[in-house]
Amino acid sequence: QMQLVESGGGLVQPGGSLRLSCAASGSTFSLYVMGWYRQAPGKQRELIAQISKSGAPNYAYSVKGRFTISRDNAKKILYLQMNNLNPDDTAVYYCNAQGQGGFWGQGTQVTVSS
């Protein structure tokens, strides 16, 4: 079992930045592929960034060049640095772990608005 707790969401103006964190507990963090998903109102949840156990990242086209995913295996924390945010980035952001089972956090709201 793994527990995931996201933090760092909030209200930000267009062009602004936020950093999301996902703290993991209960299992060996380094054995999991970690990802960030988001779900906007009325839309399906989508994978926007993923990072392998060794730290290799992959990004959805919509966020590539603006978002950076990283992980600290010693601290058991996953990060998502989000720059140059725009209103289309407004969504609930979820942390996901894939390995011996799949696990989700509760989500954190990001709202981009002037």
Q: pLDDT (tens digit, 9 = 90+) per residue, 49-89?
A: 999 999 999 999 999 999 999 999 999 999 999 999 999 99
Q: What is the pLDDT of residue 71?
A: 97
Q: What is the pLDDT of residue 27?
A: 79
Q: What is the pLDDT of residue 46?
A: 98
The amino acid at residue 4 is: L
- Tell me what the mean pLDDT of segment 1-12 comes to: 96
What lies within 8 Å, CB to CB, of 10 at 6+ separation is: 18, 109, 110, 111
Distance, CA of 18 to CA of 55 (rounded, Å): 21
The model's pLDDT over 25-40, given as tens digits with 9 standing for 90+, comes to: 987 999 999 999 999 9
Distance, CA of 39 to CA of 47 (rounded, Å): 9
Average pLDDT over the chain reads 96
Distance, CA of 109 to CA of 94 (rounded, Å): 9
